[in-house]
Amino acid sequence: MIRTLALAALAALTLNAPSAAEDAGEAKVKAAIQSLVPGATIDSIAESTLPNFYEVVLAGQVIYVSRDGRYLIQGSVYDVPARTDLTESARAKLRVEGLKEAGPERRIIYGPKDAKYRLTVFTDIDCGYCRRMHQHMDEYNRLGIAIEYLFFPRAGVGSESFDKAVSVWCSDDRAKALTDAKAGVALDKKQCSNPIEADYALGNKIGVNGTPAVFTSQGVQIGGYMAPDQLIQRLEQLEGKPAGG
């Protein structure tokens, strides 16, 4: 009986443990990345659909590294027969997971709860296209699009735009304060516990490099500012399609 249990435990360990080849391959991948970017933080390493390559998430970016650590591919990998951007699909999954960090309590939301489309938008109060987008808020909402704002002050933590975002967040009526700020109204400077720095870090984590950065609930980035008719058309085109399709 004891011998049977011991054998079963050994078999389970053998099945669950990574092979020596996999360990060696991942070690080579890590060494290759560290040789290019010393001190780089590797978020994950996983098998890739690209033969003999690993899919690596590095600071929120998806790259591919060969098993022997010799080759690194930075860019999109397409499945031609399926007409699918495999890299974009991977990015979309990362974004969905990342955006879960910011629940409704961390967002300034415009639109009905039963909106057909809910978009996460990283915004900067002083960004011209962000202001232009906000001017169309009523039209977006009438089309069934809810806008859920997170802050991404492009000048970084401690900048004037960052301080404006804090003042908006600390206002009694955040939605009105944000609308006023985007219209150029000077708000009283306020301080309170706020998520602005966390929003900015999240934006960097999922690859935001400009504002407004607009993401669907499936993690698809659909660009920046779009007029209401263009935005609804784009959302309808994406409806039912997998990310990267």
Q: Is residue 161 part of a domain?
A: yes
Question: What range defines the domain where residue 50 resides?
Answer: 17-85
Beta-carbon contacts of residue 134 (< 8 Å; ≥ 6 apart): 123, 178, 179, 182
Q: Which parts of the chain have pLDDT scores under 50?
A: 1-19
Q: What is the DSSP letter of 147?
A: E
In a shared domain, residues 160 and 224: yes
What is residue 242's predicted lDDT score, i.e. its pLDDT?
Answer: 66
Q: Using CA atoms, how far apart are residues 242 and 220, in angstroms rounded to an integer?
A: 9
What is residue 10's predicted lDDT score, i.e. its pLDDT?
Answer: 35
What is residue 244's predicted lDDT score, i.e. its pLDDT?
Answer: 64
Tens digits of per-residue pLDDT, 210-239? 999 999 999 999 989 999 999 999 999 988
Q: Which of 52, 85, 118 is the last residue of a domain?
A: 85
In a shared domain, residues 113 and 225: yes
**CA 160 to chain centroid:** 24
Q: Using CA atoms, how far apart are residues 179 and 89, in angstroms rounded to an integer?
A: 34
Tens digits of per-residue pLDDT, 46-55? 999 889 999 9
Q: Is residue 7 part of a domain?
A: no
User: Are the CB atoms for 121 and 133 separated by under 8 Å?
Assistant: yes
In a shared domain, residues 80 and 155: no
What is residue 68's predicted lDDT score, i.e. its pLDDT?
Answer: 93
